[in-house]
């Protein structure tokens, strides 16, 4: 297969790390805390974070009190941009064969591959980090649910 869907662990870590850092709203977040929250390898995450810093998505401050903050705007940073930092250009092929050696006039899957590629491309382009950062808010930062209270008879 050539140019088929590839969502790597590196992409998943990058996306989640951006959402975690963005949810802290300017507070520096240490790499080990992100790794702990995600249950991921600190070493792998560190490499991902370095790529995000190099790409201008995150800021990094070393030493005591250091950590990561957002450089890019979470409201403007799309999943597609994060994908392309980690995986390269978002390109898909409609044929599942590496070489177009199929003898059929049309794909056995019809236009399914094209539709899935288009749907994924639209989702990655339209979804911003700000759309998911609230999933990682600390409990004290989450809005309090209103209590219904007890009804009087």
Q: What is the DSSP string of 27-89?
A: --B-HHHHHHHHT--HHHHHHHHHHHHHTTSEEEE-STT-EEEE-S-TTT-BHHHHHHHHH-S
Q: What is the pLDDT of residue 139?
A: 56
Q: Indicate the pairing of strand 58-61 with strand 67-70.
A: antiparallel
Residues 31 and 13 sit within 8 Å (Cβ to Cβ):
no
pTM above 0.85, yes or no: no
Q: What's the pLDDT tens digit per position in 92-136? A: 777 777 666 677 777 788 788 888 889 999 999 999 999 999 998
What are the extents of the domains in the chain?
A: 9-138
Q: Report the alpha-carbon distance of residue 79 to residue 51 in Å, rounded.
A: 15
Residues 83 and 90 sit within 8 Å (Cβ to Cβ):
yes
As a CATH number, domain 9-138 is 1.10.10.10
């Amino acid at each position: 297969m050539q140019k088929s869907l590839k969502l790597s662990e590196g992409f998943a870590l990058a996306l989640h790390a951006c959402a975690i850092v963005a949810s802290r709203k300017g507070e520096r977040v240490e790499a080990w805390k992100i790794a702990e929250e995600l249950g991921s390898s600190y070493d792998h995450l560190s490499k991902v974070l370095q790529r995000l810093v190099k790409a201008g998505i995150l800021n990094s401050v070393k030493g005591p009190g250091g950590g990561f903050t957002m450089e890019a705007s979470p409201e403007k940073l799309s999943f597609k941009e994060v994908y392309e930092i980690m995986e390269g250009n978002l390109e898909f092929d409609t044929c599942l064969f590496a070489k177009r050696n199929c003898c059929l006039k049309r794909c056995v899957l019809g236009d399914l591959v094209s539709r899935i590629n288009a749907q994924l491309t639209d989702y990655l382009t339209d979804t911003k980090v700000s759309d998911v950062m609230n999933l990682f808010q600390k409990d004290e930062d989450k809005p309090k649910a209103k209590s219904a209270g007890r009804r009087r008879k």
